[in-house]
């Protein structure tokens, strides 16, 4: 077994024969429903939730500095845990996943997603940030019923799995009633994804909750902590979505963060999209800490980023949304320079791409462009590119896991961690020939190349097909839900 950054895999007949079907499986969200297979199928393509899985013969990018990149490697999974990585592993009773001609990576971590908006895809592509606040949080969100929240979270999460993402931070800000919240959690559970469910405010009155709000966080989070999330070691864990200093009073900011700390859960906030000063306010209030996740941060000052880094906080960049909506340039480099944990997310599928391939590539290249600009303005020629492709892969895997407080469980292919794994075809038309597996993943790959996905050792996608009979049976309900919501919103 070689440890190497190069890859000389060729194009196999196997992949050419299945290319058309695999590509169609990733063209659009609707096609996911047509490409869903029942877990009970007798087909060789059926999923598995067995105790032992062997991912065999792949080029494994472990994102583990002690292991590096392994060629022709096997990964043995037992009871949902990565048991061993090696060459020629003998596991006669295992369900074998053929990873030859493939690149194997840790499952992607989407560090910021409002999953519920899957029901209203494609309505916000021409909106500014203020329009989004007015229309989505001021109108559309109020028309969501509990079943709409369920369907949005179910299909939003299934599409994340389809795209190779195994973990999402689901920032749920339509907690209009406890039933809305419970059904949203049910949707994540039925999807089979790993998620930090971040319980936010209701979405039924934007003036009350998002404009210098004096309303403390809904007390229902105590019920969730006791009843829905009694432990912190399951697929679904609990976080708190606070408005923070940009959207609520100092008293509410203090109460909310103190409540999250009382419950022992992380807190995430949108900050710095409207202006600077929010992190300085948190410092003034004595509230900074390594349990805080800051989303966007485009207009924060260098001093504020340093406060985040010094306190151990994380920053989640969502580049496509930020560039469209006028929030400012993505702040990935600012987070890195300050020593904060940098991570990447999708944010809202009501207007942008829902896959981490797109978002991570955009985050990397925009930051490279920003780093290159002083050289360009000086009339000189660039000698070295700033961020590497491998560093970008870390943003979407281990750094995302750190941002969610899950890096001891996921984010790298390391024995002892949970088996969240994505297998990417390296011999499809758009990925062959794969000379450098990291660059194949970061620059060439997309949803259509995601062949197999494991979450906690369970195979949820195989041979390009999502395995979720619940989603298969309810796609028409999602479409009807979205049409009704938009009609009632009069938009």
Asked if the model's pLDDT at residue 49 lies above 80, the reply is: no
- CATH architecture of the domain 108-392 equals Alpha-Beta Barrel (3.20)
pLDDT tens, 109-146? 999 999 999 999 999 999 999 999 999 999 999 999 99
DSSP H helices in 339-436: 356-377, 389-395, 398-403
Please tell me the predicted confidence (pLDDT) of residue 14. 33
Please tell me the predicted confidence (pLDDT) of residue 259. 98
Please tell me the predicted confidence (pLDDT) of residue 28. 33
Copy the structure tokens of residue 292. Answer: 């805080």
pLDDT tens, 411-430? 999 999 999 999 999 999 99
What is the percent of the chain with per-residue pLDDT over 70, rounded to a whole number? 90
pLDDT tens, 222-242? 999 999 999 889 999 999 999
The candidate with the shortest Cα–Cα distance to 48, out of 397, 459, 484, 336, is 459
Longest dimension (CA), the chain: 64
pLDDT tens, 59-104? 999 999 999 999 999 999 999 999 999 999 999 999 999 999 999 9
Mean of pLDDT values over 183-209? 96
Domain with CATH 3.20.20.140 in the chain: 108-392
Q: How far is 175 from 158, CA to CA, in rounded Å?
A: 21
Domain with CATH 2.30.40.10 in the chain: 2-106+412-466
Please tell me the predicted confidence (pLDDT) of residue 13. 26
Please tell me the predicted confidence (pLDDT) of residue 381. 96
The candidate with the shortest Cα–Cα distance to 186, out of 200, 205, 172, 206, is 172
Please tell me the predicted confidence (pLDDT) of residue 474. 84
Q: How far is 24 from 135, CA to CA, in rounded Å?
A: 33
Please tell me the predicted confidence (pLDDT) of residue 417. 98
Q: How far is 32 from 319, CA to CA, in rounded Å?
A: 25
Mean of pLDDT values over 22-48? 40
Please tell me the predicted confidence (pLDDT) of residue 409. 98
Please tell me the predicted confidence (pLDDT) of residue 48. 59
Q: How far is CA 267 from the centre of its chain?
A: 17
Please tell me the predicted confidence (pLDDT) of residue 16. 29
Tell if the pTM clears 0.85, that is, is over it. yes
Mean of pLDDT values over 349-362? 97
Q: How far is 381 from 458, CA to CA, in rounded Å?
A: 49
**Averaged pLDDT of the chain:** 91
How does residue 473 score in pLDDT terms, banded at 50, 70 and 90? confident
E strand map for 128-244: 165-172, 194-199, 236-242
Please tell me the predicted confidence (pLDDT) of residue 472. 87
Please tell me the predicted confidence (pLDDT) of residue 488. 97
Q: Tokens 């393509």 — which residue?
A: 45
How does residue 50 score in pLDDT terms, banded at 50, 70 and 90? low
Copy the structure tokens of residue 236. Answer: 């679904």
The candidate with the shortest Cα–Cα distance to 91, out of 71, 74, 70, 106, is 74
Bridge partners, residue 461, by sequence: 453, 466
Asked if the model's pLDDT at residue 396 lies above 60, the reply is: yes
Fold of the CATH domain 2-106+412-466: Urease, subunit C; domain 1 (2.30.40)
Asked if the model's pLDDT at residue 10 lies above 60, the reply is: no
Bridge partners, residue 18, by sequence: none
Prior bond to 437 cis, omega within 30?
no
Asked if the model's pLDDT at residue 27 lies above 60, the reply is: no
Give every CB contact of residue 107 below 8 A, 6+ residues apart in sequence: 164, 165, 166, 167, 194, 397, 410, 420, 421, 422, 453, 454, 455
């Amino acid at each position: 077994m070689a440890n190497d950054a190069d890859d000389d895999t060729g194009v196999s007949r196997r992949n050419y024969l299945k290319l058309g079907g695999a590509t169609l499986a990733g063209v659009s969200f609707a096609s996911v429903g047509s490409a869903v297979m029942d877990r009970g199928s007798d087909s060789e393509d059926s999923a598995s939730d067995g105790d032992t899985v062997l991912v065999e013969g792949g080029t494994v990018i472990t994102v583990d500095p002690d292991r590096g990149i392994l060629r022709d490697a096997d990964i043995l999974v037992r009871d949902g845990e990565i048991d061993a990585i090696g060459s020629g592993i003998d596991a006669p009773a295992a369900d074998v996943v053929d990873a030859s001609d493939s690149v194997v990576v840790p499952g992607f971590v989407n560090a910021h997603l409002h999953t519920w908006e899957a029901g209203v895809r494609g309505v916000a592509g021409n909106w500014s940030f203020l329009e989004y606040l007015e229309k989505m949080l001021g109108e559309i969100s109020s028309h969501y019923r509990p079943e709409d929240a369920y369907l949005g979270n179910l299909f939003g999460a299934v599409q994340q799995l389809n795209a190779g993402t195994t973990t999402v931070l689901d920032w749920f800000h339509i907690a209009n009633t406890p039933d809305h919240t419970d059904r949203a959690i049910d949707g994540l559970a039925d999807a089979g994804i790993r998620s930090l469910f971040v319980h936010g405010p209701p979405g039924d009155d934007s003036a009350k909750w998002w404009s210098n709000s004096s309303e403390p966080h809904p007390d229902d989070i105590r019920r969730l902590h006791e009843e829905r999330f009694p432990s912190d070691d399951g697929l679904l864990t609990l976080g708190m979505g606070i408005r923070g200093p940009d959207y609520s009073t100092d008293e509410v900011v203090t109460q909310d963060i103190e409540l999250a700390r009382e419950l022992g859960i992380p807190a995430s906030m949108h900050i710095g999209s409207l202006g600077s000063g929010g992190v300085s306010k948190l410092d003034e209030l004595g509230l900074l800490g390594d349990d805080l996740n800051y989303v966007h941060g485009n207009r924060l000052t260098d001093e504020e980023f340093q406060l985040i880094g010094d306190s151990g906080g994380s920053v989640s960049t969502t580049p496509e949304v930020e560039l469209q909506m006028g929030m400012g340039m993505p702040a990935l480099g600012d987070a890195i320079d300050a020593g904060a944990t940098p991570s990447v997310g999708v944010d809202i599928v009501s207007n942008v791409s829902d896959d981490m391939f797109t978002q991570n590539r955009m985050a990397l290249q925009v930051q490279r462009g920003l780093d290159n600009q002083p050289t360009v303005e000086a009339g000189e020629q660039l000698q070295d590119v700033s961020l590497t492709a491998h560093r970008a892969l870390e943003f979407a895997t281990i750094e995302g896991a750190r941002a969610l407080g899950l890096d001891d469980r996921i984010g790298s292919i390391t024995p002892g961690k949970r088996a969240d794994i994505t297998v990417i075809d390296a011999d499809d038309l758009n990925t062959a020939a794969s000379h450098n597996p990291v660059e194949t993943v970061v620059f060439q790959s997309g949803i259509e190349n995601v062949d197999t996905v494991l979450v906690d050792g369970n195979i949820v996608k195989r041979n390009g097909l999502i395995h979720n009979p619940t989603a298969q049976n309810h796609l028409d309900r999602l479409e009807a839900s979205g049409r009704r919501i938009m009609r009632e919103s009069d938009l």
